[in-house]
Homo-oligomer: A and B are copies of this chain.
Amino acid sequence: MNKSGILVVISGFSGAGKGTLVRKLMEKYDNYSLSISMTTRKPRDGEENGVHYFFVDHRKFEQTIAEDGLLEYASYLGNYYGTPKEYVEKQIAEGKDVILEIEVQGALQIKKKFPNTLLLFVTPPSGEELYNRLTSRNTETNEQIMGRISRASEEVEWIPKYDYLVINDKIEECVESLHNIILSAHNAPIRQQELIERLKNELDSLSKGE
């Protein structure tokens, strides 16, 4: 059996419920570790360093880039966001499946560098349901909501680049689906190379009568 963990990237439309899904996966199963992003943006009320983000200044962030310490990074509204490499690699080596909640561009950047990464995309059952979830939050102007819808209509084009698309209708069912997909992904030959190599050697020896 392959004992390494998998890097699991979860993306999805704003309003798809990614945060809740990730929290429930972490609570329900013990094979997951959560990757925490690094950012230069200031903490909002209630956000804690090392829990929601690693909050650093521009100098520290650029130093981490220079040291090749990030799996991916992007700049958004004048702030950097990135994924520290060390934590992810350590957890994966220990057999943990590391969950990383990031947006489409970062996800594809990681998949390109690490084809072993599992890309999951989460969507509400329909566009209308997405709109309803965004408006029922009552925290944003109509303009902000339309901005999110417009972004979703761009992101939808990238779904075929993902390994799996999962509908978040009933949250518990969605958590189960995500968990099953991640378990199944361990069986892809790309993640079973040690086993394949071992079988190859064993069958080779046997067929030579060794």
Interface positions of A (Cβ within 8 A of B): 1, 121, 123, 126-128, 130-131, 146, 149-150, 152-153, 156-157, 159-160, 162-167, 177, 180-181, 183-185, 187-190, 192, 195-196, 198-207, 209
Contact = CB atoms under 8 A, between A and B. Distances in A.
A128 to B, nearest CB: 7
Contact of A206 (B149, B157, B167): B149
The 9 closest A-B pairs by CB, nearest first: A127-B202, A153-B203, A184-B184, A164-B187, A181-B184, A150-B207, A153-B207, A160-B189, A127-B203
A146 B204 CA distance: 11
Contact of A126 (B128, B163, B165, B202): B202
Nearest to A131: B206
Chain copies in the assembly? 2
Contacts of A185: 184
A183 to B, nearest CB: 6
A203 B152 contact: yes
B205 A188 contact: no
Contact of A187 (B160, B177, B199): B177
A160 B195 CA distance: 11
A203 B126 CA distance: 9
5 contacts: A1-B167, A146-B207, A160-B189, A160-B190, A184-B184
A128 B204 CA distance: 11
Contacts of A198: 126
A172 B76 CA distance: 49
Contacts of A156: 196, 199-200, 203
Contacts of A209: 146
